[in-house]
Structure 1
Amino acid sequence: MLDSRVLKTLEFDKVLALAAQQCTFPAGRAEMEKLKPNTDFATVERLLQETDEGLAILRVRGNVPMGGITDIRPHARRAQIGGTLSAQELMETASTIRASRIFRQFIEGVVQDEEVEIPLFVDIKDNLPIVTGLEHEINAAIDENGRVLDSASSALRSVRQSLRIQEGRVREKLESIIRGRNAAKMLSDTIITMRNDRYVIPVKSEYRSHYGGVIHDSSSSGQTVYIEPDAVVQANNEIRTLKSREKEEIDKILRELSAKVQEYAHDLFVLVDQLVAVDVILAKAKYGQANRCTKPAVNQEGYMRLAKARHPLLPIEEAVANTIEFGDDITTIVITGPNTGGKTVTLKTVGLCTLMAQAGLPIPVLDGSEIAVFGSVFADIGDEQSIEQSLSTFSSHMVNIVDILKNFDQDSLIIFDELGSGTDPQEGAALAISILDEVHGTGARVMATTHYPELKAYSYNREGVANASVEFNVDTLSPTYRLLIGVPGRSNAFEISKRLGLGDHLIERAKSFTGTDRGEVDSMIASLESSRVQSEKDAEATHALLLETETLKKELAEKLAENESMQSRLEEKAKEKAKKIVEEARLESEAIISDLRALRMTAGASVKEHELIEARKRLENASPKEAQKKAPKAKAAPRPLQVGDEVKVLSYGQKGTLIDKVSDTEWVVQIGILKMKLEQSGLEFVKPEKEKKMVASTAIRGRDQHVKMELDLRGERYEDAIRRTEKYLDDALLSNYHQVSIIHGKGTGALRQGIQTYLKKHSRVKNFRFGDAGEGGMGVTVVELK
């Protein structure tokens, strides 16, 4: 368990207070507020998985029914020792049991619909005791307002029936009195009221003796007395007797029901514990949803990478996000630079994110972040001066640091703020270096801030240490709060003074006092900052170009494969068609030859010319052709016809080849196996097939291809990713794509699961699958469109 002082120093209690606001009932809020980070790796993994399942349920269902729950553990405890519960307490017990039944049915519905995988919630559901019988027994005797019903027992029904009859008789008698001839004069008001559980009437003080009976009360002025007339005294006595019997019967019913609660007391304890646990899990999830938090991956190696991390207690719009990575090759980071630059905020961001993750809370970082589970976390932050102990700022820091040095180990995260401050600068810097060497040498993960210039060179001669600073904009005279790892900070005092109007001669004189080494160090830092900014810009441009090139390469490869596949299919289809046509022509030719032989055998030399012409015509018709069309007027040839040109015979609708030129107006054309002499006016030049392919290919390449074959969602938040996916699928469908790829990365799987849940519901998605080994594997979903 972590030191409570560290939790307070890092303001972990404030985060819990914000998360507790998301709880449904007081017991859940109380449990959330006393939550502590866990140091067991397996437990932390389970806590984060529970929260992630809660986030998944909230995404697909919006909310979880948790109404009507009360912490009935005190009721069950009192029933255990033989106490009698009130009707209200019994009603709360039944309501809580009903809430557990509704929750159990809700989880079963989510599982049956296969919307998300929630094995831990299923375990909680399975561990909920089923005490529906007790719920039914209580509901049969007590209504939702906590009143015992007449149907609770036959004796109670009989007593209440008699009581209503008797009360009716009393009211009849009193109504006859207040409607009497002198009632308006003698009564303060013509109403029937109650005093001391007895029916009375308000009588003016001077007429009190007129009605006789018992005076039960009087007004504050003394002008009105409340009298129970003699005529109803006996009837009121009877009512009181019946009410006493009613109370006895109600007490009997409550005792019997309390005995039932006693039987199920243990189950009720477990039931409430489980519901409180669910309330806490859902509150964590709701907090994460409201503050744009994600579930990080966790490890035991001390490595952390927080992508665009924000301080949890700062407003989302104001917090500056920083990517912080260390714990692998770099185990110690020293942040230098002036005050008010955001160094302390950076330290608290790392410390708070660690504590939150180890308590099962999602953290304010982008998806894909990773954080370590530490056995202990130590922090020395802020001015902890103690007046009672008469300790100075420096002494107070030293007390904490001494305690840290006694208890830390290699499995610790240590945070130092303004290490060595509060004393002589030279001695303070020396102490800071010595303390850093001590903790860094054991392998602990360390983040420290300091404004001592001596520590700017600390990382250059120590392995595993990196300098860092918080960026300062000299033009605006304000910090940007961006963390720059690898670049030590500088004071910027001369630049700020110059911007504020201090004379150049004063600044130059001041520079002369700082010494040559100091000036060279500042120049080196300035050069590093400039180089870093340029390197970041170059890296971003290179990365964007690389992504674009890879995408284009993949699109071209897919298009080439698609074209080759289409060409192969067309060739196969053409071969099949040609084979069929040739076969039909062969059969027809054989039939014609058979007919000619028959003619020769039967008619001999007497075969007439028109019969031969008819047979020849049938042979011509046996050649492959399309349905003949009436020849339109021939268009002018694009160039003079030549032997070997392919032409279209307009009268037959068939293609042929020019064999020989008979005259200026006639050509010999070969159509299949036939040679014919045809007029040039009935021929049309046909471009070679090679030229057509080139034109078609050019047309294909020129088609609008601005919609890419893949969508990259890595690093996107869930809501933005769904919105981009929806638009991309619309564009792909308009472009007649049959298959596209969505890149979501592997990460924690939350984004992948959300995308695939959305695809299940999309009306135009035919099917989807994970990418093959060459397509990106589990980091890519390949979508087939209708």
Structure 2
Amino acid sequence: MQEKGLRVLEFHKIRQQLTNHAASSLGKERAEALLPTRDLNEAEKRQQETFEAADILRVRGHAPFGGLTDIRASLKRAKIGGVLSAHECMSTAGVLYAGRQMKQFILELAEDEILTIPYSEEKARLIEPLSELEKKINQCVDDNGDILDHASDLLRSLRQQLRTLESRVRQKLESMIRSSAAQKMLSDAIITIRNDRFVIPVKQEYRSSYGGIVHDQSSSGATLFIEPQAIVDINNSLQQAKVKEKQEIERILRELSEAIAVEADLILSNVEVLADLDFMFTKARYAKAIKASRPLMNDRGYIKMIKARHPLLSSDEVVANDIVLGDSYSTIVITGPNTGGKTVTLKTIGLCTLMAQSGLQVPAADGSEMAVFDSVYADIGDEQSIEQSLSTFSSHMVNIVDILKKADEKSLVLFDELGAGTDPQEGAALAISILDEVYGRGSTVVATTHYPELKAYGYNREGVVNASVEFDVETLSPTYRLLIGVPGRSNAFEISRRLGLSEHVIDYAKSNMNAESNEVDTMIASLEESKKEAEAETAEAEQFRKDAEDLHKELQKQILEFNEQRDRLFVEAEQKAAEKLDEAKKEAEEIIRHLRKLQKEQYGSIKEHELIHAKKRLEEAQPVFAKSSPQKKQEKAKEDHSLKPGDEVKVISFGQKGILLEQSGNKEWHVQIGILKMKVKESDLQYMSRPKPVVEKPLATVKGKDYHVSLELDLRGERFENAISRVEKYLDDAVLAGYPRVSIIHGKGTGALRKGVQELLKNHRSVKNTRFGEAGEGGSGVTIVELK
């Protein structure tokens, strides 16, 4: 990748922005050294790494890089026998902590199958925790880089001795400065330290009163900092204890350094892995900051950016554009007025290409696609050099000559204001010739120009398309919208009219233009109007589609609520029926007891009116619902016809007809009613009819819409090969059955079956689109397939 192309397109600014999102100097170092790759596989790998890191941040919100610093120099010094400082040991423990935390963090995500993160998991497994070494360092060094008292028994004893001696020195000195004589002999009643020994400030004239050693004096010489003779011996003991403490600290650090040296290679390996992970998350954080998305990568020279934005401009200021290149055409010629956004569009294409090849997500909507080129050449801006005595035209031509020497079918070539800086007629002819040369080599080309002669360039050559940046005559300003397929036109007459130029002057100017120019401008105006109408109609159709989706969701919600209310009412009705039955049984038992009592008392001579009264009570005890004729008819229908998949039934509670799909449980069925599929109790179904079985002919027959195919295929528990075979057969059956949409249940599991099904669906001739199920449809364990 040419360094000049990177510089002209300002790729270094992308790297600068990237470094701001690094968690450590290691990630920052990776960002500063980032370069695009020419290899498609490497580009896809880099994109996958960024995508995984972005996925992790989306789910967890952060990544644990606390404690990560660059300790490579310290490790190398330890390997050759050097003694590390306490701060270096502390930093080493911090890196070990960061590695242990990161390994646990990523492996938990992978093992819980929350995310599919193969590259992150692979890197995490390379990290060696070295917990014992981390623990040993932490037992000796605190977070501030100081050696702890309990690092060794000797050190604890020495520091206890130091504290005791310091206390004795302070007590003696405090008794001296509190005495009545001290007020006139001392410059100030304080204890201070000079040459690492405790002293007091004594006036010059009272020097002999305290004896001892003079360690310093004030700038005026009026005050001497004296170590009184009374504490010299204690100070000496204190200094000896400090020397021993220093020797013990050096011994501890030497021991820690030796332990670090033994594991230095493993720690260095951990540092490299953590640097890679830090860089992955740096790219992910940058993608989030610029609202970028992952592009699909190809090596066919095909670029498709949806709502693309210049990455170095604020998303609130820049206008998003759809840019397609490398499919039916490999060259775009953008014409239009100055300051209209032509150069921004040119840089957007080039910079996004470099970003995608570097593993960075691009500031465009989901579904965008980017190509991998061997080289990106750019001739943008005025690079004239006073020292070289080159004019604007000459400096451009020097660059273009260099591009023409190297450009091939694997190159992306960007020309800004091609042919500018010289005679317009010659410049236009030269621009056409240069475009033909680069186009003939198979390069992917984007060029901007203000020459009207190039407006017809795209119409005369296959594989070339015109484009322009839109200009709003009403506001007299560019809209920065890119119009592919529409060449730019002059707006001079419209602008002049808006600014108040007389109409007769404008008419006279038009008469001086040749007929050919007028025809071209008229054609361009017509194209612009047609494009606006098409965009308005597309937006209206999209709004209708969204409204229909919202209505569909609302209907589904209402049906679910209705079903819930219906089920609740059924439960209440059953409870009330049970209560009525209990009451009826109790009443019947009471009547029977009464009759027996009468029979016993009257010895069989029961009067007629008493029997009639008892019979009436029995009839009244019978619950009303038991007399319901529809239920009896329904039970009779069930007795006559046992329900089977494919039967046409009536859902009694809805009053709607439907088709039985399959039995889902104990006396429950899945029923297809129009486009809706729901679960209904068998007691709520009434048999209507059964389709006649299709008699197979001797030769193979094609299954049509009469052949019943389930709306879902359950692959759970299937072996991979059998599952793939079943999916292929099922898709063919579903297409013949005329289904617009089906569901394939593969479960979540290890993800192997899901991935295999996704790959098959991606390349299947009958599949229009796929998506994972919503929360109520089974989530990522189900794939919803739209059929052609």
Provide Cα deviations, 1:264-293, integer angstroms capped at 9, x if missing partner: 222222222221221111111111112211
Tell me if structure 2 keeps the 8 A contact 1:380–1:401: yes
Provide Cα deviations, 1:444-481, integer angstroms capped at 9, x if missing partner: 11100000111111111111000000011111101111
Tell me if structure 2 keeps the 8 A contact 1:384–1:396: yes
CA distance 1:389–1:709, change in 2 (3 Å)? farther
Q: Which SS does the other structure have where 1:31 is aligned? A: helix
1:332 aligns with 2:331: yes
Task: Give the Cα–Cα distance (whole angstroms) in 1 for the partners of residues 531 and 118 of structure 2.
Answer: 46
Moved more, 246-255 or 156-165: 156-165
Tell me if structure 2 keeps the 8 A contact 1:626–1:654: no
CA distance 1:98–1:628, change in 2 (3 Å)? closer
Provide Cα deviations, 1:672-720, integer angstroms capped at 9, x if missing partner: xxxxxxxxxxxxxxxxxxxx9999569xxxxxxxxx979xxxxxxxxxx
Provide Cα deviations, 1:12-62, integer angstroms capped at 9, x if missing partner: 121222222111122322321221111111111111111111111111111
CA distance 1:230–1:545, change in 2 (3 Å)? closer
1:72 aligns with 2:84: no
Q: Which SS does the other structure have where 1:255 is aligned? A: helix
Aligned to 2:348: 349
Tell me if structure 2 keeps the 8 A contact 1:214–1:227: yes
Task: Give the Cα–Cα distance (whole angstroms) in 1 for the partners of residues 53 and 359 of structure 2.
Answer: 11
CA distance 1:465–1:695, change in 2 (3 Å)? closer
1:15 aligns with 2:14: yes
CA distance 1:771–1:66, change in 2 (3 Å)? closer
1:275 maps to a residue whose letter is L
Structure ID, larger Rg: 1
Tell me if structure 1 keeps the 8 A contact 2:90–2:137: yes
Mapping 1:303-322, distance limit 5 Å: 303-322=302-321
Provide Cα deviations, 1:362-418, integer angstroms capped at 9, x if missing partner: 111111111111111111111111122111111111111111111121011111100
Task: Give the Cα–Cα distance (whole angstroms) in 2 for the partners of residues 772 and 234 of structure 1.
Answer: 86
Displacement after TM superposition at 1:543 (Å):
5.8
CA distance 1:205–1:548, change in 2 (3 Å)? closer
Aligned to 2:164: 165
Task: Give the Cα–Cα distance (whole angstroms) in 1 for the partners of residues 160 and 554 of structure 2.
Answer: 86
Aligned to 1:434: 433
CA distance 1:543–1:26, change in 2 (3 Å)? closer
Aligned to 1:494: 493
Displacement after TM superposition at 1:218 (Å):
1.6
Displacement after TM superposition at 1:774 (Å):
5.8
Aligned to 1:265: 264
Displacement after TM superposition at 1:545 (Å):
5.6
Moved more, 535-544 or 525-534: 535-544
Displacement after TM superposition at 1:131 (Å):
2.2
Task: Give the Cα–Cα distance (whole angstroms) in 1 for the partners of residues 250 and 116 of structure 2.
Answer: 48
Displacement after TM superposition at 1:182 (Å):
0.8
TM-score (ref. length: structure 1): 0.72
1:234 maps to a residue whose letter is D
Aligned to 1:576: none
1:141 aligns with 2:140: yes
Displacement after TM superposition at 1:125 (Å):
0.5
Provide Cα deviations, 1:107-165, integer angstroms capped at 9, x if missing partner: 12222333211111111101113322221221122111111123223333333333333
Tell me if structure 2 keeps the 8 A contact 1:195–1:217: yes
Aligned to 2:751: none
Aligned to 2:685: none
1:246 maps to a residue whose letter is E
2:50 maps to a residue whose letter is T
Identity %: 53
Provide Cα deviations, 1:633-663, integer angstroms capped at 9, x if missing partner: xxxxxxxxxxxxxxxxxxx96879xxxxxxx
Q: Which SS does the other structure have where 1:466 is aligned? A: strand
Q: Which SS does the other structure have where 1:68 is aligned? A: coil
Tell me if structure 2 keeps the 8 A contact 1:140–1:151: yes
CA distance 1:628–1:338, change in 2 (3 Å)? closer
Q: Which SS does the other structure have where 1:344 is aligned? A: helix
CA distance 1:626–1:170, change in 2 (3 Å)? closer
CA distance 1:45–1:694, change in 2 (3 Å)? closer
Aligned to 2:238: 239
Mapping 1:166-181, distance limit 5 Å: 166-181=165-180
Aligned to 1:30: 29
Task: Give the Cα–Cα distance (whole angstroms) in 1 for the partners of residues 226 and 242 of structure 2.
Answer: 21
2:161 maps to a residue whose letter is S
- The aligned length equals 616
RMSD: 3.8
Tell me if structure 2 keeps the 8 A contact 1:709–1:740: no
- Give the unaligned 5+ runs of structure 1: 564-609, 630-651, 657-691, 699-707, 711-738, 760-764, 778-786
CA distance 1:502–1:278, change in 2 (3 Å)? same
CA distance 1:180–1:550, change in 2 (3 Å)? closer
Q: Which SS does the other structure have where 1:240 is aligned? A: helix
Task: Give the Cα–Cα distance (whole angstroms) in 2 for the partners of residues 227 and 694 of structure 1.
Answer: 105
Aligned to 1:414: 413
Q: Which SS does the other structure have where 2:419 is aligned? A: coil
Q: Which SS does the other structure have where 1:319 is aligned? A: coil
Tell me if structure 2 keeps the 8 A contact 1:555–1:709: no
Provide Cα deviations, 1:196-218, integer angstroms capped at 9, x if missing partner: 01111111222112111111112
Provide Cα deviations, 1:718-748, integer angstroms capped at 9, x if missing partner: xxxxxxxxxxxxxxxxxxxxx9999xxx999
TM-score (ref. length: structure 2): 0.72
2:122 maps to a residue whose letter is D
CA distance 1:203–1:149, change in 2 (3 Å)? same
Provide Cα deviations, 1:192-246, integer angstroms capped at 9, x if missing partner: 2110011111112221121111111122333321101112222222222222222
2:309 maps to a residue whose letter is R
Task: Give the Cα–Cα distance (whole angstroms) in 2 for the partners of residues 156 and 94 of structure 1.
Answer: 21
Provide Cα deviations, 1:542-582, integer angstroms capped at 9, x if missing partner: 5666787899999999999xx9xxxxxxxxxxxxxxxxxxx
Aligned to 1:569: none
Moved more, 215-224 or 414-423: 215-224
CA distance 1:184–1:741, change in 2 (3 Å)? farther
Task: Give the Cα–Cα distance (whole angstroms) in 1 for the partners of residues 552 and 178 of structure 2.
Answer: 102
1:147 maps to a residue whose letter is D
